[in-house]
Amino acid sequence: MTFELTNCTNMLLEEISNKKFKQKDISQTYALSLRSSFPTNWKKVNQAIINRWSKSGLDRIKKMAWSGKCFK
């Protein structure tokens, strides 16, 4: 059985706007969204991350998400 994240854009935007979620938390959802067959509005998500943290914050989140280190 395979599970995947749905409604990725809204999930990410909700988490990004909630101050209790840290970059590692966002990177986990980002990683699941990368693997989902459901569409994600990456431009909107990435801009929300930049608005909250910075361009370097986006780079850190992407690096963690692509490497899978966010799940360790």
- How far is C-alpha 22 from the chain's CA centre? 11
Residue 15, C-beta contacts closer than 8 angstroms, at least 6 positions apart:
21, 25, 26, 29
- The CA distance from 67 to 41, in Å, is 21
Q: 6 pLDDT exceeds 90?
A: yes
Banded model confidence at residue 1, pLDDT cuts 50, 70, 90: confident
* Nearby residues of 34 by Cβ (< 8 Å), 6 or more positions away: 40, 65, 66
Query: Does pLDDT of 46 surpass 90?
Result: yes
Coil, strand, or helix at residue 72? Answer: coil
All structural domains of the chain with their residue ranges: 8-14+22-71
Picking from 22, 29, 33, the residue whose alpha carbon sits closest to that of residue 57 is 22
